[in-house]
Amino acid sequence: MKKINVLMAMLIVTIAMPIFAQGNAEGSSKTYKLRTSTNLAATGTIGKSLTKFVELVNEKSDGRIVATANFGSELGNQSEQVEMCRTGSLEMVVAAPGTGPGTWVPELMMFEFPYLFKDNAHYRRALKAMEDEVSTLVEPYGMIARAGMSQGSRDMLTKKPVTKIEDIKNVKMRGPNAVYISMFDSLGAAGTTMDWNEIYTALSTGVVDGMEASPSMIYSMKFHDNAKYLTITDHIIACTYYFFNAEWYNNLPSDLKAIVDEAADEAAAYQAQLDDKDQIDALEAMKKDGVTVIELNDKAKWVEACKPMLEQYRAKGENWNSFINKLTVIE
């Protein structure tokens, strides 16, 4: 009887093995789409790092994740791309936290605040240290944050020379969100918001007299075609994060989630190396294209004019004050 039972057990195992094997094969062969996008140019350092990220994910996942990328306004403006990510039409968007998920979590605009950080190294430490906090804040709105990347210190590109703080008075300047408009008000300029991909035309038609961004960002979009004076103000350092659709990210198998995280970190490190060099190269290239670069002699006045803003933003509510405290304790 025992021999019959053993034989029966062996027969059941033999029959079952192909079934289990088939199930495992089906599980491991499932592919996941990873559609990514940025409103920035493919030729800029953020665009190049996104290309790198897509390559890394496709390679490291052995085809289990099929990643693709879109650039510029191919899929709409930044707000539209962020909404696509939130609702699942995209699996990931590269966006500035303040002008992306800042729609729902406005305190994220503090990442782009005038004269808040000592230098780019300090800023990058803050981006990394705040990654989990940003994720916690945006997850209720359907997103997960990874791979904060600095876009470099920002300067002001104008049609007329700005050599001192008095020269910026009433100049129509484009800014991406309310913090920038507050800054322009503090400096005496006339700020207006518009999408990144509208700036080139706005400069050429006179809708705005100037805009601001890092040299690398300005050069990658050729904004200097329409404005020939760049004042080195170093007023704000800007950033992007990789924002993943939370449902997609959380449903990944653990090994693929680790691959996505690793690829994001590698792409961010790659972007940092590119960006430091590209800021210098872009500035030199714009000089060759006829841009006059102006160094301020009264930068302390610009810093002083923006100082009252911090208390104004703290007074917006406990959510703002708490976020500012977490951000400013990072050394």
> Are residues 143 and 36 located together in one domain of the fold?
yes
Distance CA 72, CA 146 (A): 21
User: Is residue 11 scored above 80 in pLDDT?
Assistant: no
DSSP of 221-261: HTGGGS--EEEE----EEEEEEEEEHHHHHTS-HHHHHHHH
Q: Per residue in 67-89, pLDDT tens?
A: 999 999 899 999 999 999 999 99
> Are residues 21 and 110 located together in one domain of the fold?
no
> Are residues 21 and 35 located together in one domain of the fold?
no
- The answer to whether residues 79 and 93 touch, using CB atoms and an 8 Å cutoff, is no
Sheet with 210-213: list strands edge to edge.
190-193, 172-175, 210-213, 155-158, 229-232, 292-295
> Are residues 2 and 64 located together in one domain of the fold?
no
Distance CA 18, CA 265 (A): 39
Q: Per residue in 142-169, pLDDT tens?
A: 999 999 999 999 999 999 999 999 999 9
> Are residues 80 and 186 located together in one domain of the fold?
yes
> Are residues 150 and 120 located together in one domain of the fold?
yes
Average pLDDT over residues 123-139: 97
Place of tokens 């700005």: 162
Per DSSP, helices labelled H in 130-253 are 131-138, 178-187, 199-205, 215-221, 246-250
Please name which of 239, 220, 13 lies closest in space to residue 110, comparing C-alpha atoms: 239
Using a pLDDT cut of 70, give the percent of the chain over it: 92
Structure tokens at 203: 């400069």
User: Is residue 15 scored above 60 in pLDDT?
Assistant: no
pLDDT of residue 6: 39
Other Cβ atoms within 10 Å of 219 Cβ, number: 24
> Are residues 81 and 16 located together in one domain of the fold?
no
Place of tokens 């990072």: 330
Q: Per residue in 226-270, pLDDT tens?
A: 999 999 999 999 999 999 999 999 999 999 999 999 999 999 999
pLDDT of residue 175: 94
> Are residues 20 and 151 located together in one domain of the fold?
no
> What domain range is 143 assigned to?
31-328
Q: Cα-Cα-Cα-Cα dihedral of 143, 149, 154, 158, to 10°?
A: -60
- The answer to whether residues 64 and 26 touch, using CB atoms and an 8 Å cutoff, is no
Q: What CATH number is attached to the domain comprising 147?
A: 3.40.190.170
> Are residues 113 and 207 located together in one domain of the fold?
yes
pLDDT of residue 19: 37
* DSSP-derived secondary structure letter, 96: -
Average pLDDT over residues 106-121: 96
Element (H, E) at 3: helix 2-29
Average pLDDT over residues 4-28: 40
What sign has the CA pseudo-torsion 198, 191, 99, 146? positive
Q: How many domains does the chain have?
A: 2
pLDDT of residue 28: 56
Q: How far is CA 187 from CA 114, 227, 233, 301, 303, in A?
A: 11, 20, 12, 9, 9
Name the residue with higher pLDDT: 11 or 47.
Answer: 47
User: Is residue 27 scored above 90 in pLDDT?
Assistant: no
Q: How far is CA 173 from CA 76, 169, 213, 227, 309, in A?
A: 23, 10, 11, 12, 18
> Are residues 21 and 69 located together in one domain of the fold?
no
On average, the pLDDT of the chain sits at 91
Structure tokens at 204: 């050429």
> Are residues 103 and 20 located together in one domain of the fold?
no
> Are residues 323 and 241 located together in one domain of the fold?
yes
User: Is residue 18 scored above 60 in pLDDT?
Assistant: no
- Using DSSP, state whether 152 is helix, strand or coil: strand
